[in-house]
Amino acid sequence: MKIGKIDETDFRSLVMGKFGRRDPSVIVPPRTGVDAGAVDLGGGRVLVVAEDPIFTMPRLPLEMFGRFTVHIGASDVAVMGVRPRYMTYSLLLPPETGREAIGRIVDSIHGAARGLGIAIVGGHTGYYPGFTAPTIGGITVFALGRKKDLVTPAGARPGDEVILTKGPAIETAALLACLREGELRARHPAALVARAKGLANSITVVEDALAAAAAGGVTAMHDATEGGVMGGLFEIAAASGVGMEIDEARFVYPDEVRAVCETFGLDPVRAIAEGSLLLTVRPGTSAGVIARLKRKRIAASVIGEVVRDRRRRTIRRADGRTEALAVPEQDPFWPAFFAGLEKA
C-alpha cells in the first residue's frame, strides 16, 4: 500500500487536465514536481498560489505543528522566487479537543505567520468526528510579485550548477527523532539526538529560497519533500527537459541525519526532506548564492551540474555506485513513521 502523494502515472491518468475552465492567464498550471501555480495579472505582475495539508503526530508539540503549517505552505511559494504575503487555513479538530490545545495551535500559526510577514485573510476552524488528531485540511499561501522574478522547477539549463541546502532528509531526521527518541537514545549520545530533534526548526526553505533569489543567477528551485533529494532532482530534470550528474560526496551531511537514517535503515537521499532546497544556478554564480546563504546561517554546497543529454540523469553515491535519478516508488520515511506510531 502506497503512502503519500500519488505518483506521476496516476496524476496523469486521474488528475491531469481536469482543472476546470481553461484560462490563458494561468501561466504555471498544476503539474507534478511544481510547488505552486501562477496567474498572470497583467502589467508585469503575477499571483502565486500554493496549497498543502498538514498533520500532527505523537510527541510533536502543538506549537511546532502550528509552525509547520505556515512554513511548509510558505516554502512552496518562496521557491517560485517571490515572498509569501497572504494565507488561509482550515483547522479540523477531533470533537474532544480542548480550548487550551486550540489556543496553542492558533497562537503558533499566528506567530509564525507574523514572523514571515504573512497576513491571514481567511479560513475555517471546527470540530469533526473521524479525526483522531488536529489536522490542517489545507493551508493556502498567496504572493504577489513581478513576472520577471518568477522561478519554476522547469528553468534548469545545460551548464547550470546544482546546489543543495542543509543536506538530505532534514524532515525525516527531525520527525523520527521526536517520534522514536527512545530508540535513538539507546544507540546515540543524548546531545546528538537533541540536535536531530532541533532540525524541526529547519523544516522550511523560505529563507533559503528568498536569499538565493536575491543573490541572482537562480534558474530553478524546488523543495525536496516526498521522495527526498533523489525525487526532487529528478523532478527538476524532467520539468526542464535536461540531464543531471550529481555526486552525493559533495552534499552537506549533518551527523544527526546520518545517525537517524542509519538507525532505522533509511536511505537519506530518498527520504522526505522538507527543509532541503534544491536549486540550479547559472555558471559562475554559485559562489555568490552560497555566500548569501551562509550570511543567513544556511549551509549549502554545489552537488553537481545540469547536462544537455536528458538520458544522463545520475547520482554517484557515497560508496562509488552510480544510480539513475528517479522518484522513489515509496518514500522510506513513511514505513518508519508508522512503525513508530505502533510503539507510541
What structural domains and CATH numbers belong to the chain?
Answer: 18-149 (3.30.1330.10), 161-343 (3.90.650.10)
- Above 90 in pLDDT, residue 207? yes
Report residue 100's pLDDT band, with 50, 70 and 90 as the boundaries: very high
Closest CA to 30 of 45, 43, 15: 15
83 in helix, strand or coil? coil
Tell me the mean pLDDT in the region 49-66.
Answer: 90
- Above 80 in pLDDT, residue 234? yes
Q: Which of 4-18, 19-33, 122-136, 320-334 has the lowest mean pLDDT?
A: 4-18
pLDDT tens-digit map of 246-255: 999 999 999 9
**Cross-strand bridge partners of residue 125:** 91
- Above 80 in pLDDT, residue 343? no
- Above 90 in pLDDT, residue 116? yes
pLDDT tens-digit map of 175-187: 999 999 999 999 9
**pTM score, whole prediction:** 0.93
Whole-number average pLDDT of the chain: 94
Q: How far is CA 253 from CA 51, 152, 161, 250, in A?
A: 30, 26, 19, 9
- Above 70 in pLDDT, residue 71? yes
pLDDT tens-digit map of 13-46: 999 889 999 999 999 998 887 889 999 999 999 9
Tell me the mean pLDDT in the region 144-161.
Answer: 96
pLDDT of residue 4: 73
Report residue 120's pLDDT band, with 50, 70 and 90 as the boundaries: very high
pLDDT of residue 1: 64
pLDDT of residue 329: 86
Report residue 49's pLDDT band, with 50, 70 and 90 as the boundaries: very high
pLDDT of residue 237: 96
Distance of alpha carbon 66 from alpha carbon 55, whole angstroms:
10
pLDDT of residue 16: 86
Residue 251's contacts (CB-CB under 8 Å, 6 or more residues apart) are 164, 167, 168, 229, 301, 303
The β-bridge relationship of strands 322-324 and 313-316 is antiparallel
